[in-house]
Structure 1
Amino acid sequence: MRVFPIVIFILISSILYSQTRNLSEYRSKYCVKKCKQYKYEQEYIKQDNPPGLSMLGAYPKLKRIFNIPFKDRMNIYPFNKYDSIYVVNPVYVRNVNEPRNYIEEKYHNTKRLISKIEKDRLSDILFNYYYLNSFGAITSFHEEIGCDCIQFEYPKIILLFKRNGKFEKYIAFPDNGLNRYNFSNQEWSNFDWSMEKENMILKIFKKDILPDENCKMEVYTPPPSPNKI
């Protein structure tokens, strides 16, 4: 009888559920605006067979409708799991179509630990801002830009999440939707990601964004692996 894999599956499912429940409970507790509408939308999302939309012509609007304090935001995933977050501006690798894992050092140009103030602002945007009339998490990707500049093929910044001395998760943006994160779909949905949130976060780290230098930045071509035959 194979009990061990089942126990692991139940444990992982429980952790993911608790992460979602944690955010939901804090949002219910600290909701300050449009709370009835938020509650209605959450009930709508939970239904297996939801009714037709009753708010025809309504457009999503990003608003700060929660006031979860910083201390409590640090109890919400991923801040409650990773002990530090780094911001990185990327190295541009010539082969732009290769699968990317932004945890790899070859994509890191400069890297620094974000400050407590930046962590406060980042978590505030992720958890206190919400898309009303969204009926679920909004995920907007940047459209591809018709330009030969390799800068447009890569993110402006990368956020790296570190635990026990090891980087485990990343968010790269904007990046045309290519390998932009390695969170699970459920973990990612907690962020209610949107283009507007993305732009707000980019403003926090605007000093870390490399100038385009008129598309003349040197492109790095990594050396071949010594193990490759």
Structure 2
Amino acid sequence: MDETPLPAITEQFARTIAPESDPVIEEMDAKADLEGFPTVGPAVGGWLRLVARMVDADRVFEFGSGFGYSAYWMAPAVGDDGQLVLTEVDADELDEAREFLDRGGFADRATFEHGDAIETVDRYDGPFDVVLIDNEKHRYVEAFEAVRSKVPVGGAVVADNMIAAGPLEFEDVRALLAGDDVDANETSRGIAAYLDRVGGDPAFETGLLPLGEGVAVSVRVE
């Protein structure tokens, strides 16, 4: 995480107190490292599990699941009768997600949806106790609008990559949120627009978790 504005010591310390991984998670971490695949990492993964436990989550929806890393971390908190909805446009990655969750004993509580997440969520009724937004950064606001009404009071919307994400320029995000007119790229504008949207929504309270690449947590309060 040395290239992000977040201090490395924060990430390292968070990992020491995060829930223990298992052989499947360790394999997923190794795969991500080998392929340069952008997962949330174990510190944020363990924290996602904690969020799911804190809200006593029965149902989770993910906008962008990759090969199932985040879903795997949250799966133990959902319980045998719960539901995790994974969405992914890459069929091969979704197949890998199915295999990993099956090997962990969690496939029975997972639904695997191939296709656009924003189109997929329209087919589902709420409530979703935890929502993870991790799809295309310029579509974060669109994702939030698509799922907002399906999040109950006490539920949480979690969005990754608030501080770092490929071409994202953190200083441009800060400038945009301050109302400055800057020549920002699409990713930076998408993240700034998302933070502005959820931060200004009276039905949600939002804070920033300074782990991984920056995670925004919005809890529905009314």
TM-score (norm 2): 0.25
Higher helix share: 2
Larger radius of gyration: 1
